[in-house]
Amino acid sequence: MNIVQVIPQLREGGAERFVIDLCNALIEIPDCQVTLIVFFNYNREHVLVKELNPSVKIIELNKKLGFDFSIPRKLAALIGNLKPNVVHTHLNAFEYMFINIFRNTNKIKFINTIHNSPNHIYHNRIVKLINSKLFSYSCVTPVIISSDSIPEFQKLFPKKKPVLIFNGRPKINQSKNFESVSKEIISYKLSLKTKVFINVARISREKNQLMLVDAFNQLISEKEDVILLIIGTQWDKEITRQIKDKINSRIFLLGYKENPADYLRASDAFCLSSLHEGMPISLIEAIQHGVIPICTPVGGVKDIINPSIGFISKDFSTFAYIESLKAYLSLKKEKCEEMSSNGKNEYTKKYTMGITALKYFDLYISTGK
């Protein structure tokens, strides 16, 4: 099986992390050849690039900003030379595959994973029209990563049936820096009983950290013994500025970390405040480490979380999120330990990258007949 994975760039993000993990899992399958095509030139020292299995060939296309009309031609030439069985696209890489899809004689199958809410991705009329045309080809199979997204997709594209495959994440062990991270977090705590909450996401409007900060400011004003760590690139400078204006001494903006798993392992609860999501990789990491999740009701969150492992707020309001935070804070130690264990078991049963990669491989084979 000759597989090509295609993504615009390698940077901090759930889809980018997923693609690296998927490549690494697929290359371990006997007789699998995997090539990763990246539109923008990549940083050889980026943590994602360093984690990519050396057996995966990686090709960069030197893309310019904006819609680069040279990319479809480069892709057509590359795909012609590589002669893959399957081309698997991610994010808006799919829209650049039109020459390959139009020319295809059903020798190649195209898989496109939709990493966010379809309503969010296809809100632009032109983008929707382009994708509708590409989805009309029998050689194209769309993959949805959350149950909520299926009716959204079918309403937008009623003639195409998507396949549901949940995201996965490989088992991540603590790094050599775990002890220093633990000491760092202890230094932030007010007492031995301080509950440590963590948000792992780039700072942006859709991740909704302003609401999260408002919720914790309210808890802190009510004398709750809590701290909040926010880990991720300060992507939106204006949102970052607004957050900095709001935070107090118990809310910590820690920026991008190459070892977020260490911070997760040293925390008590995981906070996800997003307005839009597919199936968050950070949430899968949290339950893997037994960190209890407290999330807004978005996308694949509702596939992962049930009352035995975590909390989902009733809506996206600050009030509703505070209610969920207080529900967690009211738990006794034994209940926390039970929920933590349940989360770990749920990860093992459903959300390992091994399980996800085999489902994709089965899809490649079935669509390749």
**Band of pLDDT at residue 105, cut at 50, 70 and 90:** low
3-state secondary structure of 70: helix
Write down the pLDDT at residue 367.
59
How many angstroms separate the Cα of 233 from the Cα of each of 2, 200, 207, 251? 35, 9, 12, 16
278-297 confidence digits (pLDDT tens): 899 999 999 999 999 999 99
pTM: 0.91
**Band of pLDDT at residue 197, cut at 50, 70 and 90:** very high
Query: How far apart, in whole angstroms, are the C-alpha atoms of residue 312 and residue 297?
Result: 6
**If you compute the radius of gyration of the chain from its CA atoms, what whole number of angstroms results?**
21
Query: How far apart, in whole angstroms, are the C-alpha atoms of residue 154 and residue 163?
Result: 11
The mean pLDDT value of the chain amounts to 94
> What is the residue whose two structure tokens read 């923008």?
40
Give the helix/strand (H/E) hosting 7: strand 2-7
Query: How far apart, in whole angstroms, are the C-alpha atoms of residue 181 and residue 186?
Result: 9
Query: How far apart, in whole angstroms, are the C-alpha atoms of residue 24 and residue 352?
Result: 13
4-44 confidence digits (pLDDT tens): 999 999 988 889 999 999 999 999 999 999 999 999 998 88
**Band of pLDDT at residue 368, cut at 50, 70 and 90:** very low
Residue 116, token pair as written in the block: 């966010």
> What percent of the chain has a predicted confidence (pLDDT) above 70?
99
Which residues have C-beta within 8 Å of that of residue 359, sequence separation ≥ 6?
165
Measuring CA to CA, which residue among 252, 256, 214, 215 is closest to residue 235? 256
